[in-house]
Amino acid sequence: MKKAIVLGADGQLGKTLFLLSKNIDVDFLFCSKSETDITNKESLRKVFHKTNFEYCINCAAYTNVEKAEDEIEKAILINANGVRNIAEVCKENSTKLIHISTDYVFDGTNDKPYKTTDLTNPINQYGKSKLLGEKYLKEVLKEHYIIRTSWLYSPFGKNFVKTIIKHIQNDANLKITTKEIGTPTSCIELSRFIIFLMIKDNISYGIYHFSARGSTTWYDFAIEIAENYDPKKVSYISATDNFKTRAQRPEYSVLDISKTEKIYGQLPKWQNSLKEVLEELKKFP
């Protein structure tokens, strides 16, 4: 049986992987931030020396886009230096690394979906730290998969879907931006792809873009959530093109998923993935 370690297991993707792992013929070890600190190489070595892992899945990241503008050193420590630590320890142990990156490595000036080969040019500190992590990883470890994904949501943790539902439940009026275009991506779908990479075992290393099919704005995403969750509350959501944030965001960050679909098959439309996550949410109190 294959053995895999999941770092950042207490985040929404780590928790989703845990949910799906029960039906998979892989022996997983899930490590939370408190159990394994990726910014401390000795902490990583300690856990890697316990078992001969074939795969490491790095879900650990600094993801607060707004705070990263001020906490630049912390974002780099986790998203870049931490990734280099993981890559170095994976190399020492002949472990393949599956690393999660972001659409925010692009500047948003494209008028068509970004390919894996397109020029990167992050416009905020979060994106810069994630791109630096990609660079370090590629320099250190050949046996790696970098999965760039976008607008992640799940039944777990803090994410846009759960935030909108909470506001809907409280009858709150919401103004949601129409300025950004991207693709919502279910952690359930992403977890399935990660598991596929491990089980298939002969997929070429490198960068893959992963999202659902299609694109939308945050406003239209919020409307779709409301229509599926409680259609009577759709009127509580209004559009705005004047939404100020500390961090600059790419106005267009749709990912070209054709390379991924060639090895994996056609991905679902984002509306269908949303319905699956909303059904899953019903199982939680």
Q: What is the pLDDT of residues 133-167, one digit of tens each?
A: 999 999 999 999 999 999 999 999 999 999 999 99
Does a structural domain hold residue 164?
no
CATH number at residue 58: 3.40.50.720
User: Pick the catalytic residue: 126, 145, 153, 252?
Assistant: 126
Q: Tell me the pLDDT tens digit for each residue of 78-107.
A: 999 999 999 999 999 999 999 999 999 999
Residue with tokens 């925010």: 104
CA distances from 246 to 64, 124, 187 (A): 11, 9, 26
Active site residue 62: no
pLDDT at 243 over 90: no
Whether residue 241 has pLDDT greater than 90 = no
* C-alpha separations of 33 from 10, 43, 57, 86 in Å: 7, 11, 14, 13
- Indicate whether 278 belongs to any domain: no
Q: How far is CA 154 from CA 21, 189, 190, 191, in A?
A: 15, 10, 10, 11
28-86 tens-digit pLDDT = 999 999 999 999 999 999 999 989 999 999 999 999 999 999 999 999 999 999 999 99
153 is a domain residue: yes
Residue holding tokens 């199982």? Answer: 283
Give the mean pLDDT of 266-270.
98
Structural domains counted in the chain: 1
Position 236 scores a pLDDT of: 94
pTM of the model: 0.96
Over 80: is that where the pLDDT of 246 sits? yes
Pairing of strands 144-149, 152-153: unpaired
The H-assigned helical ranges of 11-110 are 12-21, 41-48, 72-76, 82-92
User: Is residue 242 domain-resident?
Assistant: no
Average pLDDT over residues 186-192: 98
For all residues of the chain together, what is the average pLDDT?
96
Would you call 59 helix, strand, or coil by DSSP?
coil
Give rounded-to-5 percent helix, strand, coil for the chain: 45, 20, 40
pLDDT at 285 over 70: no
Q: Which domain holds residue 77?
A: 2-159+184-212+254-268
- Residue 97 covered by a domain: yes
Q: Residue 181: in which H helix or E strand, if any?
A: strand 181-182
- Examine residue 282 and state whether it is found in any structural domain, yes or no: no
Q: Does 96 reside within a domain? A: yes
Q: What is the DSSP string of 209-254?
A: EE--BS-EEHHHHHHHHHHHH-GGGGGGEEEES----SS---SB--
246 inside domain: no
**Tokens standing for residue 96:** 């393949």
